[in-house]
Structure 1
Amino acid sequence: MGWRAVISRQKGEDAVADGALEAICKAVREDRQPQPVYVRIANALSSHISDGNLKHRAKLPSHRALAEALGVNVTTVTKAVRFLKDRGVVSAKAGHGTIVRGKELDHMPPVYERLRTLPRNDLSVVKRQGAVFGEAVSAAIKRVVGNAGTISSLREYQPSAGSTDVRQIGSLWLAAAGVKVAPDQIAIASGAQHALFVALAATMKPGDVVLVPSIAYQGIKSAAQMLGLGLIGVDVDDEGIIVSEIERHAHNPRVRSIYLIPTLDNPRSVTLPLERRKAIAELADRCSLNIIEDDIYRPLSLIDLPSMIELYPERTFHVSSVGKVLAPGLRCGFLAYPAVFREIVMQGLRATVWMADPLTVSVVQDIIVGGSFRDLVTDLQELLMKRHRVAIELVGNWISRHCRPEGNCLWVSLPAEIKAHEMTEYLRMEGVGVVPSSVFTIGSAQNNALRLYKGSSTDEASWKDALLLIRRAVEA
């Protein structure tokens, strides 16, 4: 059976749910909260999605049908749908209607959740492979557990941003990747996502808007949703976010920040050129905007370019972590921030996890101070470049030349007649986990691609098998 035949069984998901219109109208009418009508409509739609009454890829009633049933004008319904669209809950395309993308709080199709448990070759999430990793981390854990200082650190609360010694490891980690920041401007976080959340909370208030690439790391969506922030997707090309498109939105009074992964970005492994970095820094300075620089892949980069915090230190928050380079289970992140934001950053840390886990931080400290992290970085770089060569050989026709070989993400663009979500479902049924481009899309950008993590296959044969499966399906 061909992959299209396998997928055809899933088509029933696209139908409009029976009774949805009546149930949504009832929920709106029963909502007695003192808030605008469009918010009540958005809440009703969101509740039906979160409860599973409107499933992934279900089509919502038309704007006109909803407006007539509720006795409101079409503009009010359009505003409610735009509210959900900005938060990644639904997507809309001319001629196709409004489609449910996923539950309100996770902003990703259910297929992404299912990938975590089903595929035997799961390339949808980061995993660290190899003997070098096992040996280095095992040795570090043994040294840390046998250290009396470790036990002492567990007896009491540590400073929210980390002790002086601990913040020094953040400075060493950043310096090894070419970023110089003093320890007193670094806070220790429980991973990069935590650092990103604190940076957003420190610089923005509910209703503010972040400019983000139209193809972006999905974690920015969930963080923005929790903080009540809006997102505007800015057009990208093969080299990254387009500066002129940032400027087109930068004067919007609600826009407060620009979010970027400038080096080996997720999901495309593209590195932003120097001239664009400088132009973005100049634009942010001119428009008094903050920059949130998510630079977690920088230690892997073979290109030495200045970071945004070096180009625009006055208002740049630099996020880094060891998760994507050493191991995702080591939840230790670093947030470098402008000194004027110190107190609000401390408040953000205390309001979330209070302090990073001392035991994990001690293991990371041992790896960084002892220098074994250099071997781990080199080992991963070599693995990623080796697997990139295999990918170019097998599916090179669908990989951009701007996709860096040392990047962990592989972005495979599909022919227009093959839909990414259908290919994702087919691969899942064949035991391979990937992520469709819709998960990373912000705004109305149209993309049709798959993201694979190159380092996640347990061995070279599994990596090659996954790529061959994709090639055969595309060429069928």
Structure 2
Amino acid sequence: MVRRLSESTVSSLTSHWVKRIAGSTKPAYLLIPDLIEEALSDGQLRARDRLPPLRDLADALRLNYTTVARGYSEARKRGLIETRAGSGTYVRGRAPAMPLRAGTGAEMTMNMPPEPPAMAARLRESMAALLGAADPYKLLRYQDFGGTPADRSVATRWLRRCVPACAPETVLIAPGIHSVLVALLSQLSRPGQTICVDALAYPGIKAIAAQFNVQLQALPGDEDGPFAHAFEAMCKAQKPAALYCNPTIQNPSTRTMPQVRREQLADVALRYSVPIIEDDAYGMLPLRAPDAFATLAPELTYYVTGMSKCLGAGLRIAFLHAPTARQAQRLAGTLRATTVMASPVNTLLATAWIQDGTADDLLRAIRAESAARQQIARAVLDGLAYEADAEGFHLWLPLPAGCEWSPSELALHLRSQGIAAVSAAAFSTDGNPPDAIRVCLGGPGDREETEDSLRIVHETLDNPHHLHSAML
């Protein structure tokens, strides 16, 4: 079914695109396909959406007709849109969605942990025992928001690995990290305000910021993360609503911010009283990591972690540690309004698995499986410069110098081959995405499929003549 975009949606998209085009050195006709793909990743555009006519879009973007026509032409080449004579231009989206597990496709877009085969029987038995012993009607009732005192006490034990000083009264249990980020942005910022971020960031924070009309300001940085002096300059020029960071095994770069850079950024935040949103989705994966921002700037930091990125994507349970009990209570009200409560079944599993050691054993098994897949990547991608963390399950692959693929074209072509990856445009917050793709090693069902999928990636980069082949 065709969906005609509302005037407000078109206005929101085009106003954002005008800023991106004005702030980019990339030719506008080449940037337009990137923006369409980004809007698809953010959920602002969907397959079968009808795009504005060329002249209307040219007027809205303050570009000439020819430039926008070339932009649509480039988007058609990438398979993002199609034009029907006498009807208009429609979003095709990406190639048909592939199964997240099994089937013929290797899902490498969603960043999910691998599933160690040795744990399957134990998890099955544990789930059956827990559900068998539970009162089914209790699981079907409304629950205490933020978790019962017993649940929060167990969650606090888990969090103290990374935030030793947290206490049950500052901890909330929520249905996933994304829902916590929605609550935090709605509470800490107002429309038109700025949140400081890295030049590459979790696409979800981009989508949430766009929904709230909050501006994301990319801070210049290096391999250690954003520069503290750039953050301070922003604080002096216009006090930002918050600093958002994903400091451990960052998505997508895989880098972990070192202790010194964390201390420098925390010092700036403390001097200018700028809240910190610490998205530590991968924080439980490393055996050792630098101090959390919640330890370096406890009075300002909202620390968020969860189970979905460390144990399993379907275990939608997040733990939030707020600076004070009062701030936790305020956030509880916001979260209640947007999510009602966390799933009682997921909360039951998470609490029981932390208590009986299943969570620790699964985490160890995932680390071992990730290490094995990273070893496969080193062998298969030999000769390619890429970034990865030995305890993580994704990698960041810059395209080789002189490569004839663009990241978006490469991602689209790989999808036509049954391999799903994500181009850098989905993560870019400064309008100048690097020529790179992110590949998740946890998506393929087993190590053999991981190896086969990575070989296809390598061979595709070695054979640019595929660039103009038909994409189904």
Please, which moves more after superposition, 173-182 or 419-428? 173-182
2-side partners of 1:385 and 1:154: how far apart?
37
Alignment: residue pair count:
403
Aligned to 2:367: 381
Q: Does 1:117 align with 2:54?
A: no
Query: Among 452, 459, 469, which residue is 1:465 paired with?
Result: 452
Q: Given the superposition, is the C-alpha separation of residues 426 and 155 from structure 1 closer, same or farther in structure 2, using an over 3 Å criterion?
A: closer
Aligned to 1:62: none
Percent identity of the aligned residues?
Answer: 24
Q: Is the 8 A contact 1:160 1:346 kept in 2?
A: yes
Q: Aligned AA for 1:448? A: D
Map 1:73-472 → 2, pairs under 5 A: 81=15, 83-84=16-17, 92-97=24-29, 98-99=31-32, 100-102=35-37, 103=39, 106=43, 114=95, 116-117=97-98, 120-125=105-110, 126=112, 128-148=114-134, 150-151=135-136, 153-154=138-139, 156-177=141-162, 179-253=164-238, 255-339=240-324, 340-400=326-386, 403-416=388-401, 417=403, 418-472=405-459
Unaligned runs of 5+ in 2: 48-79, 81-92, 464-472
Q: Given the superposition, is the C-alpha separation of residues 190 and 249 from structure 1 closer, same or farther in structure 2, using an over 3 Å criterion?
A: same
2-side partners of 1:140 and 1:298: how far apart?
25
Secondary structure, aligned partner of 1:146: helix
1:409 Cα deviation from its structure 2 partner: 1.6
Aligned to 2:70: none
Secondary structure, aligned partner of 1:450: strand
Q: Given the superposition, is the C-alpha separation of residues 396 and 252 from structure 1 closer, same or farther in structure 2, using an over 3 Å criterion?
A: farther
Unaligned runs of 5+ in 1: 1-22, 32-39, 50-79
Q: Is the 8 A contact 2:154 2:354 kept in 1?
A: yes
Secondary structure, aligned partner of 2:284: helix
1:167 Cα deviation from its structure 2 partner: 0.8
Q: Is the 8 A contact 2:114 2:393 kept in 1?
A: no
Please, which moves more after superposition, 311-320 or 163-172? 163-172
Structure 1 residues 303-351: Cα deviation after superposition (integer angstroms, max 9, x where no partner) = 3311010110101000110001111111111111011413320221111
2-side partners of 1:232 and 1:154: how far apart?
42
Structure 1 residues 235-270: Cα deviation after superposition (integer angstroms, max 9, x where no partner) = 242232332332232224351100111101111211
Q: Is the 8 A contact 2:114 2:369 kept in 1?
A: no
1:92 Cα deviation from its structure 2 partner: 4.5
1:117 Cα deviation from its structure 2 partner: 2.5
Q: Aligned AA for 2:132? A: G
1:446 Cα deviation from its structure 2 partner: 3.2
Q: Given the superposition, is the C-alpha separation of residues 115 and 91 from structure 1 closer, same or farther in structure 2, using an over 3 Å criterion?
A: farther
Q: Superposition RMSD on alpha carbons, in Å?
A: 2.8
1-side partners of 2:283 and 2:10: how far apart?
42
1:373 Cα deviation from its structure 2 partner: 0.9
1:215 Cα deviation from its structure 2 partner: 0.7
1-side partners of 2:117 and 2:214: how far apart?
42
Secondary structure, aligned partner of 1:122: coil
1:174 Cα deviation from its structure 2 partner: 1.2
Q: Aligned AA for 2:298? A: P
Q: Is the 8 A contact 2:162 2:292 kept in 1?
A: no
Q: Aligned AA for 2:455? A: L
Q: Is the 8 A contact 2:301 2:322 kept in 1?
A: yes
Q: Is the 8 A contact 1:107 1:221 kept in 2?
A: no
Q: Aligned AA for 2:440? A: Y
Secondary structure, aligned partner of 2:381: helix
Secondary structure, aligned partner of 1:320: strand
Map 1:54-65 → 2, pairs under 5 A: none
Could you state the TM-score of these two structures normalised by the residue count of structure 1?
Answer: 0.78
2-side partners of 1:443 and 1:369: how far apart?
43
2-side partners of 1:428 and 1:253: how far apart?
42
1:45 Cα deviation from its structure 2 partner: 4.8
Q: Given the superposition, is the C-alpha separation of residues 136 and 253 from structure 1 closer, same or farther in structure 2, using an over 3 Å criterion?
A: farther
Aligned to 2:65: none
